[in-house]
């Protein structure tokens, strides 16, 4: 039976030779994991949030429900398995089995599994803030989690390589300067999720809500406010100060640092299409 590949994952894999090669070898990897972990698999999950991994419902011996996730190799997601081991289900999904070399994870299945996106945004603020404050812990010496500056440097190099396509060089360069400055000036450092938004929070039985898909880096806790706020773009545009201040207070972080991180990302984060001016428009809206 041919491998079913969700549309967004296929589109992501088409962007580079490395990810295309990963996708080509995926059927063999899945067959190996099914045998080793004695799994029965259902059709893979699809949707807006499935773009960098092949994820499918699984059944273990004895009828125990799980989820098989095989991550596409990419910089931001390299230490997801290490992060799940560290957090150990508090408040993330449990890691049941893993193959670090393959980026493969057998995970606790969240049931009923509804996304936090089904709740109003103001309720999302409270839930996500509570989860982030539980995730933020002093990072362990081993395994060595990467500093947030590793990601911002990686992004800076990608953005500089696209300099000819920038629609507003002044805004982009301001963002790049903040990518260098903000990691150095963090008043509080912890292990971050970096990609926590309502789509990565699911209803479960063990706890009301559990975190999936963390991308751990060590750095400024104010950074971790950004992904959720970007997913509340309408509120962020209509009431910039109030939206940032409310979420920052729930997190007990400096709202000005949240605003600076939001601006830096909106202005200078690498993107496939620099002609999409919504990001520059947002950067101007939230510019300090």
Give CA–CA dist 276/280, Å, rounded: 8
Q: Which of 54, 52, 69 is nearest to 12 (CA)?
A: 52
Task: Name the catalytic one among 195, 213, 220, 224.
Answer: 195
Whole-Å CA distances, 85 to 160, 180, 278: 35, 30, 37
Determine contact, residues 92/84, Cβ cutoff 8 Å.
Answer: yes
For residue 70, the number of C-alpha atoms closer than 13 Å in the C-beta half-sphere is 22
224 labelled catalytic: no
Q: Which of 63, 139, 66, 142 is nearest to 98 (CA)?
A: 66
Give CA–CA dist 253/250, Å, rounded: 8
Q: Which of 21, 51, 48 is nearest to 117 (CA)?
A: 48
Dihedral sign, Cα of residue 131, residue 197, residue 264, residue 139: positive
* Location of structure tokens 């890691």: 95
Catalytic residues: 195
């Amino acid at each position: 039976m041919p491998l079913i590949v969700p549309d967004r994952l296929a589109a992501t894999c088409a962007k580079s030779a490395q990810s295309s090669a990963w996708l080509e070898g995926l059927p063999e990897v899945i067959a190996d994991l099914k045998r080793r972990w004695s799994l029965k698999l259902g059709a893979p999950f699809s949707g807006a949030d499935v773009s960098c991994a092949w994820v499918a419902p699984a059944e273990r011996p004895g009828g125990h429900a799980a989820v098989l996730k095989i991550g596409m190799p990419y910089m931001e997601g390299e230490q997801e398995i290490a992060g799940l081991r560290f957090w150990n289900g508090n408040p993330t999904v449990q890691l049941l089995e893993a193959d670090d070399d393959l980026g493969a994870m057998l995970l606790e299945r969240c049931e009923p599994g509804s996304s936090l996106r089904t709740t109003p945004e103001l309720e999302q603020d409270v839930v996500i803030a509570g989860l982030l404050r539980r995730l933020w812990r002093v990072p362990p010496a081993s395994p060595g989690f990467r500093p947030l500056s590793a990601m911002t440097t990686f992004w800076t190099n990608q953005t500089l390589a696209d300099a000819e396509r920038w629609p507003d060089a002044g805004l982009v360069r301001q963002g790049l300067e903040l990518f260098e400055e903000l990691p150095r000036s963090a008043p509080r450092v912890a292990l971050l999720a970096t990609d926590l938004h309502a789509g990565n929070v699911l209803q479960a039985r063990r706890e009301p809500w559990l975190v999936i898909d963390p991308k751990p880096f060590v750095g400024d806790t104010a950074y971790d406010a950004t992904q959720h706020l970007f997913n509340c773009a309408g509120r962020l545009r209509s009431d910039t100060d109030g939206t940032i201040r409310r979420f920052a207070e729930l997190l007990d972080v400096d709202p000005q640092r949240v605003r600076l991180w939001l601006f830096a990302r909106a202005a200078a984060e690498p993107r496939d299409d620099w002609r999409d001016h919504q990001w520059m428009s947002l950067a101007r809206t939230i510019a300090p």
